[in-house]
A and B are shown apart, each in its own frame.
Chain A
Amino acid sequence: MLELSHVHKVYRVGAFGGGRKRAVRDVGLTVRPGEVVSLIGESGSGKSTLGKMVLGLTRPTSGRITFEGTDISTIRGFRAEKEYHRRVQGVFQDPFSCFNPIFKAERVLTMIRTSYFPEVSDADWRDRVVSSLRTVRLDPDNVLDKYPHQLSGGQLQRLLIARALLLDIRMLVADEVISMLDASTRIDVLNLLADLKERGLGILFVTHDLSLGTYVSDTTVILHKGAVAEMGPTRKVFDDPRHPYSRRLLSCVPQLHRSWAEVDAELAAREPEPVRLPTLVEGEDSAPMVEVGEGHFVGADQG
């Protein structure tokens, strides 16, 4: 349903846009209906930029993104964009920046109704709001008449998810939506994603929670400096990470009952089967991949 091929993004930065910042490099990936693809990588690796391109918030510098067969760069104009967003929605990290501080939660949700469901009756709308809030385990009586600063971080984040659920979406871009949630609420949200997935939604799930976050995911994509370092079935990537960068990243995941020092020691003791990584060609911007197992790919080592 969603396909990215050879997607690049170079931002113009600095005074007069004279500088260049390569944020995404030659990324290709697919999200099928009912599939959760997690995007993992450290800060600045290009995860949010990818998400924004999928949502049409910024355009790729080159490459193609298609959604259900349509090249999304051809979606232009207010109506066409609105229709696209009825089907593809994003929920972002940092809930505070997403809310207007002078709007109460109720108003934030009403805005969805005004733009997408003007025909829905008051009672029907109320039911939808209550059920979407309940899905994210928020108590409507407790949150609807509150301003953003009166809600805890996790409550806000869930409110954002509830807002997206009010639309009948087919694809969700969830950008670090669980980072501020406690384990139990996190599990609720993950189970919710699992439900959405069962309903056939495709989910592009940006997360840095490598312990819980990936449990719903079918495919894991590890990004490093804008390019894919490793990608494949989640199980394979976790059990047998082949890229040195992936191994380093996975060793930092905090685990219960095992200290970082113990994990480091284990890692040092167990050298994986060597793989020949592809190399980046000087002066070219492509990022080649090598298949190391079925559907399991590794990219170049960028240090």
Chain B
Amino acid sequence: MSLHVNDLKVHYRTLRGDVHAIDGVTFSLEDGEIMGLVGESGCGKSTLGKSLIRLDSQMRHVGGTVELDGRGVPIADDDAMVPLRYHEVSLIPQYAMSALNPIRRIGRMIDELLRARGVRPADKADELRRRLELVGLEPDVLRRFPIELSGGMKQRVVMVLSTLLDPSLLIADEVTSALDVSTQRSVAESLVEFRDRGYVRSMVFVTHDVSLVYQIADTIMVMYAGHVAEKGPADSIVSEPRHPYTQMLLSALPEVGSTSGERLQGIPGTPPGLLDPPTGCRFRARCPMAFDKCAERPPLVETAPGHWSACWKTGGE
């Protein structure tokens, strides 16, 4: 029973009104679970990740609760969140590797970070080396500067750094998206290894790439415009998707290397703006199955053990 997120609402305050980026999101993660989080650009994946660790000045916790290992996570209280960061919850942000301070040696950066978390770097030195080795990095990287490392190396440094204190939950936001396929594979496999060795208890792996998530995740959650469309075991999401959005998302994917000359069918239309989102099912304007009832928001219901879907047509009986 590691993470419970219940009806979470987090909005961005802007001059033109609230952006409803997370608008009633509910899901749970079990111990050891790697959940892939997928969905179209702008649907709120990164916002969900950030919400679980640090709300920036424009973000506002509008409602809902987060519980980790049986304790409430005070996401709106920045001070109360401090002791949890890195110790309980860690986030590898999107573009983390470009965010490393280019002129600070890796080793020094890690030491500073540990001290800031009240941990003596010397106590972690051996473990640090062990884990660098595990992801295929020489201890020598500690003496190097981020600009001297390749994207894949930086990403591995960030991974080791974020999990050094064995957090219960790791949120990895698009950590492999900027990597070439072979580096992507080894980074993704290292993340699984981290879970297997208990460096992290559970993980949210944010990506736009369903095929990648299929390789490493136990479950997949599909978001659409600030809502959860569907969550279930990776296999059933991929082979028997229930939600029309998931179905369309998957059928849009061509085979590897296919150059049939035919145009790929994306999903026609665009997701609704989140500044003033429509009521009811947010997929309604693009959904070929939409009917009257869809003007009301469909509840997220469990249609098979561990498989949840929010759709009037395919979710219920």
Residue numbers of A with Cβ under 8 A of B are: 41-45, 93-94, 96-97, 137, 139, 141-142, 145, 150, 152-155, 158, 176, 179-188, 190-191, 194, 208, 210-212, 214-218, 234-235, 238-239, 248-250, 252-257, 259-260
Contact = CB atoms under 8 A, between A and B. Distances in A.
Contacts of A184: 40, 248-249, 252, 266-267
A41 B248 CA distance: 30
A261 B98 CA distance: 31
Contact of A154 (B208, B209, B252, B254): B208
B264 A252 contact: no
Given A191-B264, A256-B214, A211 B95 contact: no
Contact of B174 (A44, A150, A153): A153
A97 B102 CA distance: 14
Interface string B5-17: 0000000101010
Contacts of B24: none
Given A43-B183, A94-B95, 20 more contacts: A41-B180, A42-B183, A141-B273, A150-B12, A153-B46, A180-B41, A184-B249, A184-B267, A185-B208, A187-B252, A187-B264, A191-B263, A194-B263, A208-B181, A210-B181, A214-B257, A218-B259, A252-B184, A255-B256, A257-B214
B180 A139 contact: no
Contacts of A139: 270, 273
Contacts of A93: 178
Counting chain A CB atoms within 10 Å of each CB, the highest count among B178, B212, B267 belongs to B178
Contact of B150 (A44, A208, A260): A44
A152 B211 contact: no
B182 A249 contact: yes
Nearest to B152: A43
A235 B257 contact: yes
B159 to A, nearest CB: 16
Interface of B: 12, 14, 16, 38-42, 46, 94-95, 98, 150-152, 174, 177-185, 189, 208-212, 214-215, 238-239, 248-250, 252-260, 263-267, 270, 273, 275
A43 B180 contact: yes
Contacts of B263: 191, 194
